A and B are shown apart, each in its own frame.
Chain A
């Protein structure tokens, strides 16, 4: 009896109820359309990329397309130097940014007194907003001469690009990694300390593993920024399409990345030419690479993500 009464009391009058339903339906439709349209747009972009880039895959033998010589004027379209350039600059950037970023995040999140954290965190987030072209400019006029003085034949090298990219991705990595550490419940730290772990052991064995999904995302977003970055890299890497070798100085030689190649050459090619579609082919390769990295990241996050959500913590 009491239950029935409550139900009657809780339900709105009929006309109001249908209004509620309509409102719900409209919101649902809008959200659905938003979701679908972004998927469609991505699909269209990919299709366009395929349409423009496929001729290169069909007309140039694969062995040549991924060959060691990029010399478009002579119709030599070997992507290998560009792949190598992107790879070395990105890997270098990650190798610099990862340890720096994670240790800074750990310091900020676990060790620094709250007052210092409150000051440093906003500063770091502001750094993330510096336009990349400004950083490229700084790299060009300040960093490159410095590196040349250190003994490299030129200051515009893969290493210079890595440094600039690392600097660019650091704020992202630090800020998101610190959020991830912050989201780890205090109970985990207390639990570890209460059975005789040192602070460092609690961080290393409990907090970091618990924060792993967030840390992976932090690193991936940082790398994502580094891979996709064009302008700053173009300004400081010297843009020579060579495959760096140990004989020539490896990290300390000019290289040219895939993104820089597209940006630099797209303006001067005839639409529909082989050179043109090769630039799109480079785009496809980039697309595939970032897709692979993203799904790898998804897998790394996914494993723990499920377990964590069962525990009810983020």
Chain B
């Protein structure tokens, strides 16, 4: 699993950081998504996939 994030699309809602805080963070200045763990370990994959599904702007993807 590899997480992709498009910061041009991200609206900084922070759903990702709320849902999978070990995998996603938000930039302090711009609030844009930062992927902390682009290849999350097994135990974080479900939360990461849920965050991808919940992202309201479609900025996140899984490859």
Do A and B assemble together? no
- Which residues of chain B have a CB within 8 Å of any CB of chain A? none
